[in-house]
A and B are shown apart, each in its own frame.
Chain A
Amino acid sequence: MSIAEHLTDLIDKGKTVCLVTVIQSDRPEFPPGAKVLFLPDGSIGGTVPLGELTEPLAQLAHAALACKKKQLTDLAPGLRVFIDMLAPEARLLICGAGHIAVPLALFAREVGFSVTVLDDRPDFANTSRFPGCEVLVEDFAPALRRLPLGSDTYAAVITRGHEHDFECLLEILPKETAYVGLIGSRRRVEFVKLELRKRGIPSARLDLLYTPIGLPIGAESPAEIALCIAAELVATRRLGKEAARGVQGERRVGP
């Protein structure tokens, strides 16, 4: 199996892999281009035997996997390596397959998310409306109970009504996610939050909600709203949760 095939296989299995490539070297046993793979579980693969460098390299890879940082670094005198981090695509889970979901799925795919669409209406949730996406036609709550969410899952809750939004958030909010956005007017959003609080969702979790959803670009049409949500997803992925809220901040001032 080629190293590329091995990497592809690992990414498809949902693993994050640290790929170390020798860039400059005055040691013949580690020529430029030589590669070593590290997995979070500590296993090692690659094209060269590491000898006495096994330990320092493993430490470096371990630290890099923890902070997900790509960088050029000197492993030893005369041995410069590039630490690359290869991770599965971030996943966008769209709850509600209505008019905003179609352009949102399109934009999100284009900027590198793998997209799952969930709705209980087969007329809306189908692959002809969402090419290239995983489409689930199921009731919201049981599907969300079953789906694995995690630190690379982004959720956009844009169902047809606040009772379904509520139902989705009740399942999503207790779990770890990268982002949860909720669509709706201020009134609808406050109502949903109130209901969630009554059902025991702690305020700290409710504060994690991005709502009103999307960056403030004056969006009106479904496609424009989808664009501002996609922009918020990118901001969260690239800048981090806190900084992405800073981008939003200006809109929140005011009446």
Chain B
Amino acid sequence: MNDREIFGKLAELAKQGIPVCLATIVETAGSTPREIGAKMLVGADGWTFGSVGGGCGEHQVKSAALRCLLVSGKPKLLEVDLTDDLGTRGGDVCGGKMWIFIEKIDGP
């Protein structure tokens, strides 16, 4: 999924008045599953489009995005820690950390 497809989908949803969350990796340290600038959209029903790396890290992003979308409405900078040794807590073993900016995009 490239940026053109992400913003194309965002534009399409904005036109229909459907609010979604945009999650963007803005900073990384160490090994991470995706690069700075990778993006994912999250809809109110849990629908996602694009990816910020998959696995449990992405699940954290999805949860935070749903909170932003349905509860707070406020942008959030989320830290995702992937330094879990051997994945004992849930498989996040890339070894690095990433910071993801989550924001609600409301439409036109």
- Measured CB to CB, the closest approach of chain B to A57, in angstroms, equals 17
In the complex, the answer to whether B7 meets A86 with C-beta atoms within 8 Å is yes
Q: Give the segment of B43-51, B59-67, B81-89, B97-105 that binds chain A.
A: B97-105
Mark each residue of chain A from 212 to 237: 1 if its CB lies under 8 Å from any CB of chain B, else 0.
00000000000000000000000000
Give bound CA distance, A246 to B108, whole Å. 47
Number of contacts between A and B (CB, 8 Å)? 66
B2 CB within 8 Å of chain A: yes
Give bound CA distance, A82 to B27, whole Å. 9
- Measured CB to CB, the closest approach of chain A to B80, in angstroms, equals 15
Contact of B11 among A4, A21, A85 (CB under 8 A): A4
Contact of A86 among B3, B27, B104, B105 (CB under 8 A): B3
In the complex, the answer to whether A7 meets B75 with C-beta atoms within 8 Å is no
In the complex, the answer to whether A32 meets B26 with C-beta atoms within 8 Å is no
Chain B residues within an 8 Å CB radius of A72: 26-27, 36, 99
A56 CB within 8 Å of chain B: no
Chain A residues within an 8 Å CB radius of B7: 4, 7-8, 11, 86
Chain B residues within an 8 Å CB radius of A85: 37
A202 CB within 8 Å of chain B: no
Contact of B101 among A1, A21, A70 (CB under 8 A): A21
Give bound CA distance, A89 to B104, whole Å. 26
- Measured CB to CB, the closest approach of chain B to A38, in angstroms, equals 15
Question: Is chain A's interface secondary structure helix, strand, loop, or mixed overall?
Answer: mixed
In the complex, the answer to whether A71 meets B36 with C-beta atoms within 8 Å is yes
B8 CB within 8 Å of chain A: yes
Chain A residues within an 8 Å CB radius of B10: 2, 4
A211 CB within 8 Å of chain B: no
A82-B26, A82-B101 known; A2 vs B14 contact (CB < 8 Å) = yes
- Measured CB to CB, the closest approach of chain A to B5, in angstroms, equals 9
Chain B residues within an 8 Å CB radius of A71: 36
State which residues 50-97 of A face B: CB under 8 Å.
70-72, 82, 84-89
Give bound CA distance, A5 to B8, whole Å. 7
B107 CB within 8 Å of chain A: yes
Give bound CA distance, A86 to B4, whole Å. 8
A126 CB within 8 Å of chain B: no
A24 CB within 8 Å of chain B: yes
B15 CB within 8 Å of chain A: yes
B24 CB within 8 Å of chain A: yes
Chain B residues within an 8 Å CB radius of A21: 24, 101, 103
Chain A residues within an 8 Å CB radius of B3: 11, 84, 86-87
In the complex, the answer to whether A2 meets B37 with C-beta atoms within 8 Å is no
State which residues 1-48 of B face A: CB under 8 Å.
2-4, 7-8, 10-11, 14-15, 24, 26-27, 36-37
Interface CB pairs A-B, < 8 A, 13: A1-B108, A2-B14, A4-B10, A5-B11, A5-B15, A5-B108, A8-B4, A23-B26, A23-B75, A33-B104, A84-B24, A87-B3, A88-B4
Among all A-B residue pairs, the 4 with the closest Cβ atoms: A4-B10, A5-B11, A4-B11, A2-B14
